[in-house]
Amino acid sequence: MSATSGSVPLHGKHALVTGGARGIGLAITRALLAHGARVSMLGRNAQKLEQSARELTTLGEVVTVAADVADPAAVAEAFAKARARFGPIHILINNAGQAASAPFLKTDAKLWRQMMSVNADGTLYCTQAALPDMLSAGWGRIVNIASVAGLRGAPYISAYCASKHAVIGMTRALALEVAAKSITVNAVCPGYTDTEMVELAVANIVTKTGRTSNEARAELASHNPQKRLVQPDEVANAALWLCLPGSEAITGQAIVVAGGEVS
């Protein structure tokens, strides 16, 4: 088996990863580069993007584009810049997201729109920006990083839950729309994952309850039947698999990476 077809099965593919400079997005970027893809990392913080890109240059070709996924004009401009560097986009990883908590009666319009604009609207805008390339190529992979919160309810995060349910609904609908066009659309649904977002949740628990950081982390890990936080590389492995040869029949799915938390 040749190097290009075996060890680097995504050779020649252009992947764009939103929220690609940290956490799950960074782990996915590494995995895609290791399997031969050229990767555009998109995020709001240009400095963080450049820092992460410098650390990845030994793995493969990577470029950064700064944009807020909640701004459709900025998304269109960023995708055009990525396309100018690496050509048409074949793989889209919609990873950018935010989380916030509040009791239902304190979930105001601002919080609701914040969750929807980044998690749901951002996924829509980025997918609409990439899909024409995939249709022209006759091949594409879209992976939406959702959450176990998109498959069930949870107290104090109604806006976040609603936004992730929207992402999964969009995933299933689009998957059927493009099923006969060699384009797959799937969601990966992590449980609590050891990232900066979880560290913010830990800090919030400490502030509100007076627990220690270790106690707060243990509380989050207790939701996982394996009694641990999911690791970013575990989520990345699931996302990568959906882009590799052999996954062609997997589409419209919400794949849970949460140690058995949702089955």
Is residue 255 exposed (0-12), middle (13-18) or buried (19+ Cβ within 10 Å)?
A: middle
Q: What pLDDT sits at residue 1?
A: 32
| Span 2-13, average pLDDT | 73
Q: What pLDDT sits at residue 174?
A: 98
Which is the catalytic residue, given 125, 156, 160, 192? Answer: 160
Position 3 pLDDT exceeds 60: no
Give the strand pairing for 62-66 and 140-145.
unpaired
Tokens of 25: 């997005």
Question: CA-to-CA distance for 95 and 26, rounded, in angstroms?
Answer: 10
Q: What pLDDT sits at residue 42?
A: 97
Cβ(79)–Cβ(89) below 8 Å: yes
- What percent of the residues of the chain are helix, what percent strand, and what percent coil, each to the nearest 5? 50, 15, 35
Q: Is 156 part of the annotated catalytic residue set?
A: no
Q: What pLDDT sits at residue 6?
A: 58
Question: CA-to-CA distance for 234 and 237, rounded, in angstroms?
Answer: 5
* H or E element that contains 71: none
Q: 122-137 and 72-86 are packed helices; what angle lies between their axes, rounded to 10 degrees? A: 30
- The mean predicted confidence, pLDDT, of the chain is 93
Q: What pLDDT sits at residue 4?
A: 44
The pLDDT-based confidence of 216 (bands split at 50, 70, 90) is confident
Q: What is the pLDDT of residues 144-160, one digit of tens each?
A: 999 999 999 999 999 99
| Span 161-176, average pLDDT | 98
Q: What pLDDT sits at residue 263?
A: 66
Residue 209 CB neighbour total at 10 angstroms:
11
Radius of gyration of the chain, Cα coordinates, nearest whole angstrom: 18
Cβ(23)–Cβ(232) below 8 Å: yes
Q: What is the CATH number of domain 14-191+231-257?
A: 3.40.50.720
Cβ(36)–Cβ(85) below 8 Å: no
Amino acid identity of residue 110, one-letter, is K
Q: What pLDDT sits at residue 195?
A: 82
Q: Render the burial of 70-105: b for 16+ CB within 10 Å, e for the rest.
A: bbbebbeebbebbbeebeebbbbbbbbbbbbbeeee
Alpha-carbon torsion 172, 65, 62, 88, what sign? positive
Assessment of whether the complete model's pTM goes beyond 0.85: yes
Question: CA-to-CA distance for 61 and 182, rounded, in angstroms?
Answer: 25
Q: What pLDDT sits at residue 220?
A: 83
Q: What pLDDT sits at residue 196?
A: 77
Residues listed for the chain: 263
User: Higher confidence at residue 43 or residue 216?
Assistant: 43
The pLDDT-based confidence of 213 (bands split at 50, 70, 90) is confident
* Most distant pair of Cα atoms in the chain: their distance: 59
Q: What is the pLDDT of residues 24-83, one digit of tens each?
A: 999 999 999 999 999 999 999 999 999 999 999 899 999 999 999 999 999 999 999 999
Tokens of 100: 């916030």
Position 2 pLDDT exceeds 60: no
Instruction: Give the start-to-end residue ranges of the domains of the chain.
Output: 14-191+231-257, 192-229
Q: What is the pLDDT of residues 111-140, one digit of tens each?
A: 999 999 999 999 999 999 999 999 999 999
Nearest partner of 168 among 260, 254, 255, judged by Cα: 254
